């Protein structure tokens, strides 16, 4: 599987534990050995959304976003000249500068782009729909803990679950609609 690049809204939904994320995408992000990238352009966009009042973290994004990216074992994807030059060639009428940069990064770096934006499609870029197709858009995502798994013989009743065992190497999913440091994504946030 290709490494993933999360679009800004997908990152925000992940951090908030938002139930609108597709469960297949959640599973893919949770895979311990799977590389998941977050563009520096997303940090730039989140700061702009915060300044405009569309996203509230309870404290400045600069104080909490870097540690959250680290906690979830995501990797920052810096912007370089190849990304900028390709972004300049992408349509300006349907994509904002952040989207153009993120799409260009996915193309240049060969990453699978996880997005909810139908306009962020380009030939040669694998795009994964991040939004669930279920009728109930706000179902909660269960949280995980980082406790060590018990051996099957030590489990009560030795019953096997369909869900994977919690392990210290899984990426934690935060509680539904709340950032670990406080605050939420407002309903007036970035258009999907």
- The CATH number covering residue 108 comes to 3.40.50.1010
Q: Judge whether 108 lies within some domain.
A: yes
Q: Judge whether 171 lies within some domain.
A: no
Poorest-confidence range of 118-122, 129-133, 144-148?
144-148
pTM attached to this predicted model: 0.70
Task: Pick the more confident residue, 6 or 174.
Answer: 6
Compute the distance between CA of residue 40 and CA of residue 10 in angstroms, rounded to an integer.
14
Compute the distance between CA of residue 114 and CA of residue 25 in angstroms, rounded to an integer.
8
Q: Judge whether 116 lies within some domain.
A: yes
Residue 94 belongs to domain spanning: 4-158
Q: Judge whether 100 lies within some domain.
A: yes
163: three-class secondary structure by DSSP = coil
**% the chain with pLDDT above 70:** 69
DSSP state of 131: B
Per the DSSP assignment, residues forming a β-bridge with 114 are 6, 128
Q: Judge whether 178 lies within some domain.
A: no
Shortest CA distance to 5 belongs to which of 36, 32, 29?
36
Compute the distance between CA of residue 161 and CA of residue 71 in angstroms, rounded to an integer.
26
* Number of domains forming the structure of the chain: 1
For range 54-72, the mean pLDDT: 90
Q: Judge whether 39 lies within some domain.
A: yes
Looking at the predicted structure, is the pLDDT value of residue 137 above 80?
Answer: no
| Token couple for 149 | 């798994």
Please list the alpha-helical segments (H only) found in the chain: 8-16, 23-30, 40-51, 61-71, 81-87, 97-109
pLDDT classification of 138: cutoffs 50, 70, 90: very low
Compute the distance between CA of residue 90 and CA of residue 85 in angstroms, rounded to an integer.
9
Find how far residue 111's CA is from the centre of its chain: 14
Q: Judge whether 35 lies within some domain.
A: yes
pLDDT in tens, 65-120: 999 999 999 999 999 999 999 999 987 888 899 999 999 999 999 999 999 998 88
Edge-to-edge strand list for the sheet holding 4-6: 75-77, 36-39, 4-6, 112-115, 127-129
Q: Judge whether 86 lies within some domain.
A: yes
């Amino acid at each position: 599987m290709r490494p993933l690049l999360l679009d800004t809204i997908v990152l925000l939904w992940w951090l908030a534990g938002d139930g609108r994320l597709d469960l297949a995408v959640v599973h893919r992000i949770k895979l311990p050995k799977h590389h998941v990238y977050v563009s520096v352009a997303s940090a730039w966009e989140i700061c702009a959304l915060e300044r405009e009042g569309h996203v509230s973290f309870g404290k400045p994004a600069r104080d909490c976003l870097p540690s959250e990216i680290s906690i979830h074992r995501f990797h920052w994807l810096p912007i370089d000249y190849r990304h900028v030059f390709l972004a300049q060639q992408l349509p300006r009428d349907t994509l904002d500068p952040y989207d153009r940069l993120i799409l260009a990064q996915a193309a240049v770096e060969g990453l699978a782009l996880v997005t909810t934006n139908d306009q962020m499609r380009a030939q040669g870029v694998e795009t994964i729909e991040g939004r669930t197709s279920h009728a109930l858009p706000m179902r909660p995502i269960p949280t995980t803990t980082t406790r060590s798994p018990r051996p099957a013989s030590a489990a009560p009743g030795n019953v096997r679950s369909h869900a994977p065992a919690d392990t210290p190497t899984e990426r934690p999913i935060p509680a539904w609609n709340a950032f670990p440091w406080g605050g939420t994504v407002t309903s007036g946030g970035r258009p999907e």
